[in-house]
Amino acid sequence: MRVELHNIVKRYGSKTALNVPRWTANPGEVVGLVGSNGAGKTTFLRLVLNLLRAESGHIEIDGAPIVKNESWKARAGSYLDASFLIDFLTPVEYFRFVGAVYGFENGAAEEAITPYRNLLPFLATEATHYIRELSTGNAKKVGIVSAMFCSPQLLILDEPFANLDPPSQIRLKRHIRRLSEQHGTTMIISSHDIGHVTEVCSRITLLDRGVIVRDEETSPETLSELEQYFSA
């Protein structure tokens, strides 16, 4: 899927949180969104998902404005924070609920999560626990898997590596690569961990106080250049 931002301005009161004249993610591209706290990353993602409205400008997915054509939602997966979860369900109940939203028939959701079982080892002992009873990291894994198991054409994740243990971070990166290589999924991944995003993303967009100050394909020098930028 192709995502385009045109002359986007988002304000909170008198503060301009985001000012993006133009930005595009091409089909199959994996874009890392990086920046300091308050740079506008989460606002950026929420605007793309049509969870916020900009004061001016518009966003298109596959050439159609997102506010006028919602067909893209059936082909998109996302997880930004715990508010996306229904915490009085067990993980499997939640996967079934999400699967039903995407039109999965009975039992299909459990089958679809099979490739992601290595992110969900806690199901062996906590399958009957409600999501609210899980650790922060395990609940987050439920949210991430729910965004990925439908093999979306557009995947949006906010800080997916935070609160995950090292084995889960490694496995998540493998799943991101698999979705990109096997399904051609367009991805926008926001993270403070510039090591992880430069490893899995083909392009890095750097936000600073709501403005894009760098937008380049990832290279062997990208990580050191970002480290230099943030240490200045």
And the tokens for 193?
């961990």
Contact 42, 80 (CB under 8 A): yes
Q: How many other C-beta atoms lie within 10 A of the C-beta of residue 34?
A: 24
Sequence letter at residue 124 = A
Residue 127 has what pLDDT?
A: 84
Residue 182 has what pLDDT?
A: 93
Pairing of strands 186-190, 30-34: parallel
Residue 42 has what pLDDT?
A: 96
Residue 72 has pLDDT above 90, yes or no: yes
Sequence letter at residue 137 = G
Residue 70: C-alpha distances to residues 76, 91, 113, 118, 139 (Å): 10, 27, 25, 33, 28
Pairing of strands 203-208, 30-34: parallel
24, part of any domain: yes
Q: Which domain holds residue 206?
A: 3-84+148-231
Task: Write out the DSSP string of 39-96.
Answer: SSHHHHHHHHTTSS--SEEEEEETTEETTT--GGGGGEEEE-SGGGS-TTS-HHHHHH
Residue 61 has pLDDT above 90, yes or no: yes
Helix axes 166-183, 136-148, angle to 10 degrees: 10
- CATH code of 59's domain: 3.40.50.300
- Give rounded-to-5 percent helix, strand, coil for the chain: 40, 25, 35
Residue 32 has pLDDT above 90, yes or no: yes
135, part of any domain: no
109, part of any domain: no
Residue 69 has what pLDDT?
A: 85
What value does the mean pLDDT take over residues 31-46? 96
Give the tens place of pLDDT for each residue, 146-203: 999 999 999 999 999 999 999 999 999 999 999 999 999 999 999 999 999 999 999 9
Contact 49, 26 (CB under 8 A): no
Give the tens place of pLDDT for each residue, 192-225: 999 999 999 999 999 999 999 999 999 999 999 9
Residue 80 has what pLDDT?
A: 97
175, part of any domain: yes
Q: Which are the contacts of 96, defined by CB distance < 8 A and separation ≥ 6? A: 104, 109, 110
Q: What's the number of domains the chain is made of?
A: 1
Residue 89 has pLDDT above 90, yes or no: yes
And the tokens for 202?
């083909």
50, part of any domain: yes
Sheet with strand 76-79: strands edge to edge:
76-79, 154-158, 186-190, 30-34, 203-208, 211-217
108, part of any domain: no
120, part of any domain: no
Residue 232 has what pLDDT?
A: 78
Of 17-26, 56-65, 66-75, least confident by mean pLDDT is 66-75
Contact 48, 26 (CB under 8 A): no
12, part of any domain: yes
Give the tens place of pLDDT for each residue, 101-150: 999 987 899 899 999 999 999 998 988 999 999 999 999 999 999 999 99
